[in-house]
Structure formats: C-alpha cells, structure tokens
Chains A and B, each alone.
Chain A
C-alpha cells in the first residue's frame, strides 16, 4: 500500500510540478531546532525552505489523529506503530493539517498524499513547526 502510493506520487510528480505544486520530502522538513529556557522547541528554518513558504505543496505521510471531536489530524513521516514511542518521532517529523473541508472519520496510520499551503511556524510554540493550510487529499 505504502509502496504503491509512493510510486503513484513519484509518477505524478511531473504533473504536479506542471500545475505549480511543489513536492516536498520529509528530508526537506528535517530542520534543526533548539529548546528554549521554558522547555519549548524553537525551529530554525534554513533559507532554502523559503521557496516553499506559503506555497502550494504536496506531501505524503501517515495520518495521526489529534482531536477527534474537532476532526484535527496531523501528517506523520512515520507510521504510528514506529513513531512516537520508539524514539523516531520528533517535532520535525509531523505536520499539522488544517483541512479545507472537514473529512469523514479517518483511520490512524492511513497513508495519504496531501496538498495544501505550507506555513513555516516560527512564532507560535504551541503549534507544530509546519502547518499545511487548506489541506485536501491529493489524487
């Protein structure tokens, strides 16, 4: 399932570029971060991320439920089973999703391809480093 979706995304990446959407890889989002004196994380966004800032991007990953009542989900680099409690996850391996239209109930670890506007959050420590606004399923 995962491999098939990856192949589809790669196969369609040219088409995606033709429409002006930038395909973002998780390696690109693996930005360095520091811990503030309050114990919060502060990201340091490299300048090469500027070309993706506030742009429509495409990103693939696994869905993680954050709040079921308000249907908030995040996109994770790693599947939940190999994610948060195994030490792989970090604040730069998850992206906050703000859906354009509220989706029906989704399944944890569902592999999806998301399209939306990438926001680099460098001023709100209560939110994730990356936020995809107007998110919708791609393909």
Chain B
C-alpha cells in the first residue's frame, strides 16, 4: 500500500473536520447576508406587485398584513363607492377589491374579482373561477389537505378561527388553482357577493382595494389625495418595507460584524488543527527526510491529500450554503475561505521547510 493511500485511510476524519469548519465559517459569514437577501426579496416581491392598498382608517401595516398576507384582521370596511372612486381615478391602472373576515376551517376566505388571479400569477388547474355568490376555488394542495374536490360543499365561519360563528349559506368548490405565494396557497377565493349574502349586508362593502398605478411617481402624488378623503387609509407596501428595512439594517450590520469575529475564531481553530496535524506526522517526515526526500515531495506525500480535502471541503461548504440559503457567496467570502486554506497550507510548508 502506497504512503498516499495510507494517508487517506488515516485522515478520513480530516475531511469531516475541514468540511465542518468551512461550513461553520461560511454559515456565520453568510447568515446576515441571507437574512438581508430574504428581507429584500420579500420586499421586492410585495412592493413590485402592489403600489397602494386603500383600506379603512387605521394602521397601514395592518392593512398590508391583512390584505397581502392575511396575518392580521382588516382595519374595517370601506363602501363600494370607495372602490369605484379609485377604480376610475386617472392615476390608477388596475383596482382589485378585497373582502376579508371569514374563514373555512381556519383558512381565510378572500372575496375578490377575476383581476386578482392574473395579478398574482394564479392559474386555474381544473373547473372555473367563481362567478356567483357561494362559489369558491382553492389551491390544489389545500384541496388535498381539506379532502375536497370540485362539487364539494364547505361552510364558512366568522373571523379567522374555525370555531367562529358559522354562516348558514353553504359554499361550493368550483375550481382548483395553482397559486404561487404561500398566502394564496392557504386561502380560499370567492366573489365579494358571497360576503354580502352570508352577512346579510344591505350595503355593498369591501375591506380594502389593491391598486396598481399608472406610474411609480404617482405613489408620491396620491398621499395628498388620500389625506383629503375621510375614513380612508393608504398603505404603500414599498414605503412600509422601506421603513422596516431601516429598522432592520442596524441589526443586520451588527450581526455582520459579529459573524466576522466568529469566523476569525473558527479560522484560528482551523490553523491550530493544522499545526497539531503536522506534529502528529513528525515521524513520517523524519523517515522521508532520511530517504533523501525533498520538501516538495514530502509535502505532496504527507499533506497532498490534505490539500485535496481542504479544497473539497471548501467546495462542499459553498454548495451546502448555496443549497440551504440560496444565495451565492460573494467575492469577500470566497477570499476569506481561500485565505484560510492558503494560510493553513502555507503554515505546513514553512514548518516542513524548517524541519
């Protein structure tokens, strides 16, 4: 058995340790960036789709959270006249009404019109979109979860909890969807008339209106108009996420600084490990020296596999991080990881030269 193969058998643990250290270093450096990326991705996704949401006077965050994510209760109801006003406003390209407040087995029931589906890239897999009161559609995965298909009957309840007061009007599943956003995958959709029927409403009303404007600059013109309209609150997702980003940024910056300190500690640990590994190979090195081995050949025979393992560990860690977080490492992270490997190998080389 050659010395190279012998070294491979002896150093199987090295692969594990190198991979682990490279992975830990990578994750610590990557985590704040991943957080930042995630936040910005969410921001972009929401802000690029909706320019403005108009709801009843209240918290803009609550309006965005309820309309876009169904995480909150709506601030209240707005009359159908409000929807009509915004639908016909010259700065508005598209207006979609939203009615919320009921649930089906704990899943929100969204009352909206047909413009909602293409807006959020929702496709019809089976059946048809709801067109009359009582008709509902839902994502295929949710239909499986609720064990319902086309033609099935469901009952809605008031509020966001399935234990809320049940409505007497039954709902009928008429279509199965393929939704993209998680908020849409866990909701059922119907026409606003379903709400008016089940709530015995005399006046037609909604909980909010989502608007796409004819230009982005219009977002800075409309606040003035909204402030002049009674009982209406404008919520601009891009501004809200911008404000949230402002709050998060110092935390991200702080954690970035800490991640580098932790990474430096891990690198130090790695160098110590390399140094110990050298000392454990002293007898082999002495044997090869006595057999007229030069520094380069000893380095390759004794530590050649370490070089391969280090590069493999580096590659694996990058792949794992990419797979886990979905963000490619940037130049400085590659530099940090390569620097660690070069530093470790350089240390081995220097020690070997001095031996």
Which chain A positions have C-beta within 8 A of B48? 67-69
Are A108 and B44 in touch, CB under 8 angstroms? no
The complex places the Cα of A72 from the Cα of B216 at a distance, in Å, of 8
In the complex, what residue of chain A is closest to B249 when comparing beta carbons? A107
Are A67 and B249 in touch, CB under 8 angstroms? no
In the complex, what residue of chain A is closest to B93 when comparing beta carbons? A126
List, sorted by A's number, 6 A–B pairs whose CB atoms are closer than 8 Å.
A68-B241, A69-B48, A84-B236, A96-B220, A107-B245, A125-B91
Contact of A39 among B89, B239, B246 (CB under 8 A): B89
In the complex, what residue of chain A is closest to B214 when comparing beta carbons? A126
The complex places the Cα of A94 from the Cα of B215 at a distance, in Å, of 15
Are A68 and B217 in touch, CB under 8 angstroms? no
A89 touching B215 in the complex, CB below 8 Å, given contacts A39-B90, A68-B44, A126-B91 = no
Binary interface encoding of chain B residues 198-227 relative to chain A, with 1 for a CB under 8 A from any of its CBs, else 0: 000000000000000011111111011101
In the complex, what residue of chain A is closest to B88 when comparing beta carbons? A39
A85 touching B60 in the complex, CB below 8 Å, given contacts A64-B239, A68-B238, A107-B246 = yes
Contact of B220 among A108, A109, A128 (CB under 8 A): A128
Which chain A positions have C-beta within 8 A of B44? 68-69
Q: Is A101 at the interface (CB under 8 A from chain B)?
A: no
Which chain A positions have C-beta within 8 A of B47? 65, 67-69
A65 touching B225 in the complex, CB below 8 Å, given contacts A40-B91, A127-B215 = no
Q: Is A139 at the interface (CB under 8 A from chain B)?
A: no
Q: Is B79 at the interface (CB under 8 A from chain A)?
A: no
A108 touching B242 in the complex, CB below 8 Å, given contacts A68-B44, A126-B215, A128-B217 = yes
Q: Is B243 at the interface (CB under 8 A from chain A)?
A: yes
Could you tell me which residues of chain A, from 41 to 75, have a CB within 8 Å of some CB in chain B?
A: 41, 64-70, 72, 74
Contact of B90 among A90, A107, A125 (CB under 8 A): A125
A96 touching B217 in the complex, CB below 8 Å, given contacts A85-B223, A89-B223, A108-B246 = yes
Could you tell me which residues of chain A, from 81 to 108, have a CB within 8 Å of some CB in chain B?
A: 81, 84-85, 87, 89-91, 94, 96, 105, 107-108
Known pairs A68-B43, A68-B241, A80-B243 / 18 extra A-B pairs, C-beta < 8 Å:
A38-B90, A39-B89, A39-B91, A66-B217, A66-B238, A67-B48, A68-B238, A76-B220, A85-B223, A89-B220, A94-B220, A96-B217, A107-B242, A107-B246, A108-B243, A108-B245, A109-B246, A126-B91
In the complex, what residue of chain A is closest to B45 when comparing beta carbons? A69
Contact of A66 among B40, B43, B90, B216 (CB under 8 A): B216
In the complex, what residue of chain B is closest to A105 when comparing beta carbons? B40
Which chain B positions have C-beta within 8 A of A81? 243
Are B242 and A64 in touch, CB under 8 angstroms? yes
Which chain B positions have C-beta within 8 A of A69? 44, 47-48
The complex places the Cα of A93 from the Cα of B225 at a distance, in Å, of 15
The complex places the Cα of A59 from the Cα of B248 at a distance, in Å, of 28
Which chain A positions have C-beta within 8 A of B40? 68, 105
Are A41 and B221 in touch, CB under 8 angstroms? yes
The complex places the Cα of A125 from the Cα of B225 at a distance, in Å, of 14
Which chain A positions have C-beta within 8 A of B241? 68
Distance of B181 from chain A, by nearest CB (Å): 16
Which chain B positions have C-beta within 8 A of A40? 90-91, 221
In the complex, what residue of chain B is closest to A67 when comparing beta carbons? B216
Binary interface encoding of chain A residues 113-135 relative to chain B, with 1 for a CB under 8 A from any of its CBs, else 0: 00000000000011110000000
The complex places the Cα of A40 from the Cα of B89 at a distance, in Å, of 9
Are B90 and A65 in touch, CB under 8 angstroms? no
**In the complex, which of the residues B89, B90, B221 has the most CB atoms of chain A within 10 Å of its own CB atom?**
B221
The complex places the Cα of A102 from the Cα of B89 at a distance, in Å, of 32
Closest 4 CB pairs of A and B: A108-B242, A126-B215, A69-B48, A84-B223
Which chain A positions have C-beta within 8 A of B225? 39
Contact of A91 among B224, B227, B245 (CB under 8 A): B224
Are A64 and B90 in touch, CB under 8 angstroms? no
Binary interface encoding of chain B residues 61-96 relative to chain A, with 1 for a CB under 8 A from any of its CBs, else 0: 000000000000000000000000000011100000
In the complex, what residue of chain A is closest to B223 when comparing beta carbons? A84
